Amino acid sequence: MVLSANDKSNVKGVFSKISSHAEEYGAETLERMFTTYPQTKTYFPHFDLHHGSAQVKAHGKKVASALIEAANHIDDIAGALSKLSDLHAQKLRVDPVNFKLLGQCFLVVVAIHHPSALTPEVHASLDKFLCAVGNVLTSKYR
Amino acid sequence: MVHWSAEEKQFITSVWSKVNVEECGAEALARLLIVYPWTQRFFDNFGNLSSPTAIIGNPKVRAHGKKVLTSFGEAVKNLENLKATYAKLSELHCEKLHVDPENFRLLGNILIIVLAAHFNKDFTPTCQATWQKLVGVVAHALAYKYH
Q: pLDDT tens for residues B125-137?
A: 999 999 999 999 9
| Cβ <8 Å between B125 and A123 | no
User: C-alpha distances in angstroms, A16 versus A22, A134, B56, B78?
Assistant: 11, 21, 26, 43
CA atoms within 13 A on the CB side of B32: 27
Torsion sign, CA atoms B16, B17, B22, B24: negative
**Which residue from A minimizes the CA distance to B51?**
A121
Provide ipTM, 2 decimals.
0.83
A115 touches B at CB < 8 Å: yes
Which residues, at least 6 apart from A9, have a Cβ–Cβ distance to it below 8 Å? Answer: none
- Give pTM, 2 decimals: 0.91
The pLDDT tens digits for A95-141 are 999 999 999 999 999 999 999 999 999 999 999 999 999 999 999 99
Percent over 70 (pLDDT), chain B: 100
| Cβ <8 Å between B125 and A115 | no
A111 touches B at CB < 8 Å: yes
Percent over 90 (pLDDT), chain B: 97
| Cβ <8 Å between B126 and A32 | no
Q: For chain A, what is the HEC assignment?
A: CCCCHHHHHHHHHHHHHHHHHHHHHHHHHHHHHHHHCHHHHHHCCCCCCCCCCHHHHHHHHHHHHHHHHHHHCHHHHHHHCHHHHHHHHHHHCCCCHHHHHHHHHHHHHHHHHCCCCCCHHHHHHHHHHHHHHHHHHHCCCC
pLDDT at B1: 79
pLDDT at residue A1 greater than cutoff 80: no
Size of interface A-B (CB pairs under 8 A): 59
